[in-house]
Structure 1
Amino acid sequence: MNYEQTLAYLENLSKFGINLGMARIERLLELMQHPEHRFKSIHVTGTNGKGSTTAMLSAILTASGVKNGMYTSPHLHDYPERMVVNGQEITRDEFAQAITYTNKFVEQMLADGFEQPTEFEVITAAAFYYFAAVGVEYAVIEVGLGGLLDSTNVIIPEISVITNVTLEHTDRCGSTIADVARHKAGIIKDGVPVVTAAKGEPLDIIKQTAAAKGASVYVKDEDFSSNFQGLANGKQQMFIDAGGLGQAEIALNIIGCHQVENGAVAVETALLLGTKESRITLQTIKSALTTVCWPGRFEIVPGSPVIIIDGAHNPDGARVLRQNLDLVFPGREITFALGILRDKDVAGIIRELIRTTDTVVTVQPLSYRAATPEEIAREIEARHVEAASTIEAGIERAKQLAGSDGLVCVAGSLYLIGEARQIIFNK
């Protein structure tokens, strides 16, 4: 298949939706002779921050001279974003080749009477194949959904990372915070160290799971810590104390108060790995975090007006976004271009993010799960609220309402962010 044919193939697979379970991916990888066994890995889950933490860890490995792959989801613009080697996205042709190769084994599964693998399972298997084929030493693998039954959970990593746990995906992971925590803790493997910033009941569940599996746990604010020291030269200054592993002042290129926590998790994980991999040092860590990027997460676009792009898609993410807006732009009036999926906690996101003094233009993300602009607008109490017919029209209207000296924030769904970035950067 060429790239266009590959997109059509994946679009056809998407009709099978999300179907958690391990049997299909295990059989597929068995037929492919287990490419996931041909490199070491770090496994990352969490409600928020898992993507940026994954990006930090991959950047640290690259800066340390460790050839590595990074697997993330969803993509913002294009499927090859999900598979990165040493900071470089694979090409469209390479992506098509990896999917084409994987599909041969999917067809064999179907001929043998197995259930059709989902789109995410096929892409995950293709990523493992590609990373093995190009000879990465490590892969940093971000969980797609939950952890326990996620198709990435076939790996046995060197370190398991759980950034944090709040209520999400209740239709898939259970209706309580304890249920969600058990899914996140499902990535913990026998004897494999765990690094986490979880708190409260989720942390208790993580510790219990780790104890049952003989896995040591390194906990933020117990075993390591971080402190925000201010903003300077467009970077976030922070101090990290990794306990007996070292201390460092770090200039982090990703802005946001929550990134101080994610940065601490990434540094602790890297230093733990550094006890086995001598190429990883505090110096390579500091160098990597000075330049690391993670688009669409409190991404500041200078101009008139200034635009902030953030994929806050649950109440906790919305709360953190609001904190960051108040921290970086204190006292500024904000005009939002807001789009949310219908199956998310729409009211909770709005409650955490929007104030009565704000101006809001609602838009519809590019997903069949999206709430309509009118549905979102009805939930909002603000100074001015209106619905836009398209994402582009919504962003333009928000810029108009904000004025050249104003501040526009595009937020609410990663399915909105990709399209918004294409419009804003004229891609």
Structure 2
Amino acid sequence: MNYEQTMKYLENLSKFGINLGMARIKRLLELMQHPERRFKTIHVTGTNGKGSTTAMLASILTASGIKNGMYTSPHLTDYPERMVVNGKEMSKEEFAQAITYTSQFVEQMLSDGFEQPTEFEVITAAAFYYFAAIGVEYAVIEVGLGGLLDSTNVIIPEVSVITNVTLEHTDRCGSTIADVARHKAGIIKDGVPVVTAAKGEALDIIKRTAAEKGSRLYAKEEHFYSRFVGFENGKQRVAIDAGAFGRVETELNLIGCHQVENSAVAATAALVLAAGEHRITIKAIKSALAIVRWPGRFEIFPGAPVIIIDGAHNPDGARVLRQNLDQVFPGRKITFALGILRDKDVSGIIRELIRPEDAVVTVQPLSYRAATPEEIAREIEASHVEAAASIDGGIDRAEELAGAEGVVCVAGSLYLIGEARQIILRSRQM
């Protein structure tokens, strides 16, 4: 299949939706002779920050001279963004080849009477094949949903990472923090160290699971710490204390108070790994954090007005985004271009993000699950609220309302952010 044919193949698979379970991916990888066993891995889950933390860890491996893969989801613009080697996204031709290769084993499964694998399972298997074929030494693997029953949970990593735990995917992971925490803790493997910034009840569950598995646990505020030092040259400076593993004070290229915590998780996980992988050094960690990029997460586009895009798609992510806006742009008028999926906690996101003095233009993300602009607008109480007919029109209108001295923030869904990012890059010729 070429790339266009591959897109049609995946589109056909998407109709099977999300179907958690391990039987299909295990059978598929067995038929492929277990490509996931041909390299070492770091496994990352969490409610928020798992993508940023995954990117930081991959950047640290690259700075350490270690050939590595990074698997993330969802993509912002194109599927190949999900598979990166040493910071370089795979080509569309490579993506098509990996999916084509994997599809023959899918057909074998079906002919043997097995249930149809989902789109995410096929892409995950293709990622493992691609990383093995290209010869990576390590791969940093981000969980798709939850952890326990996620397709990525077939790996036995060198380190497991759980960034944090708040309510999400309650239809699949349970309606309480404890339920969600059990899903996240499901990535913990026997004897494999765990690094987490989880707190409260979630941390208690992670601790119990780690103890049951005989896995050494490193918890933020107990075994490692971080603090914001200040802004310098458009970056924030952070100080990380990883206890016996060492201390790191460095520039961090990703902006926001939540990234101070994420960088501490990533640095500590890397230092745990460094106990047996001597190419990883504090010098490499510092240089990696100073240059790491993670598009679409508090990404700043300078201009008049300045534009921020952030994929905050749950109340906790919205709360952190608001904190960051207040910290980085104190006293500035905020105008939102806001689009949210109907199956998310719409009222919770709005409550955490929007204030009475804000202006809001609602837009519709590119997803069949998206709430309409009118539906979102009815939920909002702000100084100015209007619904836009398109994403580009909504961004233009938000810029008009903000004025040259204001700040535009595009937020609410990763399905919105990818399209918005392309619009902004074109309009500002970046």
Shared topology, TM-score over 0.5?
yes
Map 1:23-422 onto structure 2 (within 5 A): 23-422=23-422
| Count of aligned positions | 427
> CA offset at residue 303 of structure 1?
0.7
**Aligned AA for 1:109?**
M
**Aligned AA for 1:211?**
A
1:6-65 Cα shifts (integer Å, max 9, x gaps): 001001100000000000000000000000000000000000000000000000000000
SS at match of 2:15: helix
Aligned to 1:12: 12
SS at match of 1:65: coil
What is the distance in 2 between the residues matched to 1:207 and 1:389?
48
What is the distance in 2 between the residues matched to 1:72 and 1:149?
17
> CA offset at residue 405 of structure 1?
2.0
**Aligned AA for 1:390?**
S
> CA offset at residue 358 of structure 1?
0.1
What is the distance in 1 between the residues matched to 2:245 and 2:90?
34
**Aligned AA for 1:338?**
L
Q: In the alignment, is the contact (CA less than 8 A) between 2:332 and 2:405 conserved in 1? A: no
1:234-287 Cα shifts (integer Å, max 9, x gaps): 111011100000012110000000000000000000011111111100000000
SS at match of 1:271: helix
> CA offset at residue 406 of structure 1?
1.5
What is the distance in 1 between the residues matched to 2:183 and 2:300?
33
SS at match of 1:392: helix
Q: In the alignment, is the contact (CA less than 8 A) between 2:160 and 2:194 conserved in 1? A: yes
> CA offset at residue 403 of structure 1?
1.2
What is the distance in 2 between the residues matched to 1:85 and 1:270?
18
Q: In the alignment, is the contact (CA less than 8 A) between 2:343 and 2:369 conserved in 1? A: yes
**Aligned AA for 2:79?**
Y
What is the distance in 2 between the residues matched to 1:362 and 1:391?
9
SS at match of 1:70: strand
> CA offset at residue 404 of structure 1?
1.9
1:317-339 Cα shifts (integer Å, max 9, x gaps): 00000000000000111000000
**Aligned AA for 1:177?**
I
SS at match of 1:393: helix
**Which runs of 5 or more residues in structure 1 are unaligned?**
none
Q: Which runs of 4+ in 1 moved over 6 A?
A: none
**Which runs of 5 or more residues in structure 2 are unaligned?**
none
What is the distance in 1 between the residues matched to 2:211 and 2:176?
22
What is the distance in 1 between the residues matched to 2:304 and 2:423?
15
**Aligned AA for 2:221?**
D
**Aligned AA for 2:410?**
V
TM-score, structure 1 normalization = 1.00
Aligned identity (percent) is 81
> CA offset at residue 207 of structure 1?
0.4
**Aligned AA for 2:177?**
I
**Aligned AA for 1:247?**
R
SS at match of 2:343: coil
**Aligned AA for 1:269?**
A
> CA offset at residue 291 of structure 1?
0.4
SS at match of 2:332: coil
Q: In the alignment, is the contact (CA less than 8 A) between 2:160 and 2:193 conserved in 1? A: yes
What is the distance in 1 between the residues matched to 2:354 and 2:231?
25
What is the distance in 1 between the residues matched to 2:164 and 2:109?
36
> CA offset at residue 166 of structure 1?
0.1
